[in-house]
Structure 1
């Protein structure tokens, strides 16, 4: 359970954040949310799959790091073995929250239960006179982009639904040691349906800026083979 607090210089002047990567720091996750505006960067390293929220009926895109809960195949010796980390991972333990007065004003919050918070080591959030450090300014930019693009992504998912471009995925993987892994509960872009769209539908998707993230999501599926190779390598080395 998180314990969110509004980030302020008065309350958090001496706060430090560890930026190394480890399971003990909260990085042992098999997936995180991603937004269409970062699909181009995400697809270079991770499969992008779509997950249905049964409560809302809406979809969210997920960058996949492993095959089972708590498995991150990109963690290696205190580092993240990829050139890009999705915004939702890289901005932790910070998040966007609404103002206490209920307005739409966004504020930077911090999860005070995060193991990344350290009294002695890590990146300063504020300097000695209470100004945001370059580290915090970068985090704030990431949070702003993530929040803005998450809200904007509603149009993207509406377009996918309108043209019925998502299909369920069940992926069975047999590893080198004979063990089996399965990815279920996700959707992918239906490539055959995309290819068969009428020109007017393609023009609509292009005009709205949706074609590029669709293509990026499709291209990302090539990373499933890399994910399998990472799993086999980890099994081989114990």
Structure 2
């Protein structure tokens, strides 16, 4: 259940938000959406995979945190054990919304039913006593802008992947040190072999559109699968 409202410095003058990590705060997820603009930061910490959902025109990218629904191996109790938080998590409980007419720039909305909404003696304030945005809210607004811009720009990237047939199905079977087997299915990765066959004109067009770098970052991110498996082994006591 959600309860979205346009953020207002009068109505929400005393609102506070929890900024710690925790499964009960929305961090207990197996994966989260990422946009190509942040692939360079994401690839240093998480595998980047792609999904296609029935009825959706384009695929989307996710940062992988675990191998089971609700499993986040980068979450250690109340500590986020990675050097980066993808934007789609870092902005919670906020989102970009449109006015009732649908015109004009996006507005900052807040989900008042989100578990990060804090009690009076917890969390970080959004506004000071005079109703001025705090540095925390300024940072949130910047992240929201980055995520919104990245999402809008991603259409061209995913269209390019489709046009050049650069996604291939990906299945990973992980046998843990304990002997337990986990299968990761339903995802895609960049087809490196297909990428190597593209001619100079195609590669030049991808580079000119700023698509080549995120493609390379997505490929590089697959090196994080090994460390993620190691995290799973440690979590299950197998390594």
Pairwise TM-score range, normalised by the shorter structure: over 0.9
1:155-234 equivalent positions in 2, closer than 5 A: 155-234=156-235
Q: What's the TM-score once normalised by structure 1's chain length?
A: 0.97
2:83 is the counterpart of 1:88: no
Kindly state the Cα deviation for residue 26 of structure 1 after the two structures are TM-superposed.
Answer: 1.4
1:11-160 equivalent positions in 2, closer than 5 A: 11-119=11-119, 120-160=121-161
Give secondary structure in 2 for the equivalent of 1:50: strand
User: C-alpha separation between the residues in 1 aligned to 2:49 and 2:189?
Assistant: 6
Kindly state the Cα deviation for residue 24 of structure 1 after the two structures are TM-superposed.
Answer: 1.3
User: C-alpha separation between the residues in 2 aligned to 1:210 and 1:182?
Assistant: 30
**Alpha-carbon displacement from aligned partner over 1:189-218 (angstroms, at most 9, x marks no partner):** 000000111111011111111110000000
User: C-alpha separation between the residues in 2 aligned to 1:56 and 1:76?
Assistant: 34
User: C-alpha separation between the residues in 2 aligned to 1:123 and 1:76?
Assistant: 22
How many residues matched? 238
Structure 1 residue runs without a partner (length 5+): none
Give secondary structure in 2 for the equivalent of 1:54: coil
Structure 2 residue runs without a partner (length 5+): none
Give secondary structure in 2 for the equivalent of 1:236: coil
The runs of at least 4 consecutive aligned structure 1 residues that moved more than 3 Å come to none
**Alpha-carbon displacement from aligned partner over 1:6-60 (angstroms, at most 9, x marks no partner):** 1111111101111110111111001110011100000000000011121223111
Partner of 1:235: 236
Q: What's the TM-score once normalised by structure 2's chain length?
A: 0.97
Asked whether the equivalents of residues 52 and 60 of structure 2 are also in contact (C-alpha less than 8 Å), the reply is yes
Give secondary structure in 2 for the equivalent of 1:63: strand
Asked whether the equivalents of residues 58 and 159 of structure 2 are also in contact (C-alpha less than 8 Å), the reply is no
Partner of 1:5: 5
User: C-alpha separation between the residues in 1 aligned to 2:48 and 2:3?
Assistant: 29
User: C-alpha separation between the residues in 2 aligned to 1:6 and 1:130?
Assistant: 15
User: C-alpha separation between the residues in 1 aligned to 2:101 and 2:40?
Assistant: 37
Give secondary structure in 1 for the equivalent of 2:73: coil
